[in-house]
Structure 1
Amino acid sequence: MTEPRQARADDQKVPLLAYGVAGVKVVFALAVFRALAGPFTEDIFGEEWLPMPTWEWSACSATPIVLLWLARRPADWGSLSGEKMFLRIMLVFYLLYSLAFALLLGEWILWVGVAAGLGGLSGIHYLNHRESTYDH
């Protein structure tokens, strides 16, 4: 899955991992849009057309974990050096939203998002630690 794919006629290769990063970013942008759509419709139209996200938020919060699993090889994890901070920001955002609304709304499915956020952050920590042991 992380092998290079022929991308252009001039023999430059784009790793498939780059498509995964782009996919995770698109899912994050859609998740944030979805989270803001409910309050937006209530402010503009006077009634809430979309409830606050629940199961879809948990599904979106699992996408960075899939990317971390695909990038578990040291070479692939090293190629994501520019994306590590963005992955952390995404996971913390998913974690905080899930935790807040799991506690406030009592939605049990959002605990999946909490677990995904914690699992993703611990995965980043593990991969960073493993990368530093390969450097020495």
Structure 2
Amino acid sequence: MTEPRQTSAEDRKVPLLYYCVAGGKAVFVLAVFRVLAGPFTEDIFGEELLPMPTWEWVVFSVTPLIILWLARRPVDWEALSGERMFFKIALTFYLLYALAFSLFQGEWILWVGVAAGLSGLSGIYYLNHRESSDAD
């Protein structure tokens, strides 16, 4: 009765996943700040001190993809049930920015961000579909 509870590797992995989600949220806030920083400096100082994001946007857009890859197991995906909408919003935001600037500004590096956004959204669709088919 007073024996300590045995913890398995799965019990220890879920809190690490929550730290990854918190890091993903922080990266999303930084991405929104980074997008708004260029026009903000142009409005305040009269010249654009920071150009619009290019290579750093690829890093932003790959972050949720890595978290989704880490949470691909059914136990971990179930633990992220409350965070799925956040990932959809973040990946859509990353995808739209990367697509617009790769098409209209000719930034070829942003095509990697487009691929990451599409991969992440299709991964969410796949994991949700797999979860619903497992429940049947």
TM (norm. structure 1) is: 0.90
What root-mean-square deviation, in Å, do the aligned CA atoms of Structure 1 and Structure 2 show? 1.5
Cα deviations by residue, 1:103-133 (Å, 9 ceiling, x for unpaired)? 1110000001100000000000010011112
Q: Which runs of 4+ in 1 moved over 6 A?
A: none
List runs of 5+ in structure 2 lacking aligned partners: 1-8
Cα deviations by residue, 1:29-80 (Å, 9 ceiling, x for unpaired)? 0011011101100000001110000000011100000010110000110111
Q: 2:37 is matched by which residue type in structure 1?
A: A
Q: 2:86 is matched by which residue type in structure 1?
A: F
Percent identity for Structure 1 against Structure 2: 73
**Counterpart for residue 68 of structure 2:** 68
**Counterpart for residue 23 of structure 2:** 23
In proportion to residue count, which structure has more helix?
2
TM (norm. structure 2) is: 0.90
Asked if the contact 1:3/1:16 (under 8 Å) is kept, the reply is no
Q: 2:125 is matched by which residue type in structure 1?
A: H
Number of aligned residues: 128
In proportion to residue count, which structure has more strand?
1
User: Which one has a bigger Cα radius of gyration?
Assistant: 2
List runs of 5+ in structure 1 lacking aligned partners: 6-12
Asked if the contact 1:38/1:51 (under 8 Å) is kept, the reply is yes
Structure 1 position 51 matched with structure 2 position 57: no
